[in-house]
Amino acid sequence: MRETDYDLLAEQIRALAETDPWYVPLLANAAALLFDAMEDLNWAGFYLLRDGKLVLGPFQGKHACIHIPVGKGVCGTAAERKESVLVPDVHAFPGHIACDSASRSELVVPLFYSGDLIGVTDLDSPSAGRFSEEDRKGVERIARTLGELLEFP
Ligand code: SME
């Protein structure tokens, strides 16, 4: 499988943020870039924190769960811990929320803005064990880049 070029992704996100850093277009294009740049994904996108729970944000893939309580599923666990969660096999993760039954592995990375958690980046693959530690570090870097550049209400 082709490795993802996270340097290139970060550059592309910087260029997009120069045009408009508003979180809606920036996260929408970031979801599209991640979905294109990372092989073997069936879903890539964001959940954003609103009134204490995660709400579906910009994404690529099949329609998905709209609300995820903090502490539930892989996304809610990453939000609660404020740290990345890499799940090699979702069938072995208690409480995994199956939005797309094709998903077999998942990587969720928190998104911070001005030091506060504002949501998570969620990546799903139909292959077990799709995500490596390199991917975790790479997506954390992308989430950091987004958090530094975006304008959020
Ligand atoms: N599987 C996620 C829910 C979101 S979808 O994968 C898009 C979870 O367990 O949090």
pLDDT tens digits along 48-58: 999 999 999 99
- What digits encode the pLDDT tens for the residues 26-46? 999 999 999 999 999 999 999
**In degrees rounded to 5, what are phi and psi of residue 83?**
-150, 160
- The pLDDT value recorded for residue 126 is 97
Q: Is the pLDDT of residue 94 over 90?
A: no
CA distances to 13, 103, 113, 123 from 7, in Å: 10, 26, 21, 18
- The pLDDT value recorded for residue 6 is 97
Mutational pocket test of ligand 1: of 46, 66, 67, 68, the residue with most ligand atoms within 8 Å of the beta carbon: 68
Strand 43-50 and strand 105-113: pairing? unpaired
Q: pLDDT class for 20, splitting at 50, 70, 90? A: very high
Cβ atoms 43, 103 nearer than 8 A? yes
Quick check: helix, strand or coil at residue 35?
A: helix
Is the minimum distance from the CB of 68 to ligand 1 under 6 angstroms? yes
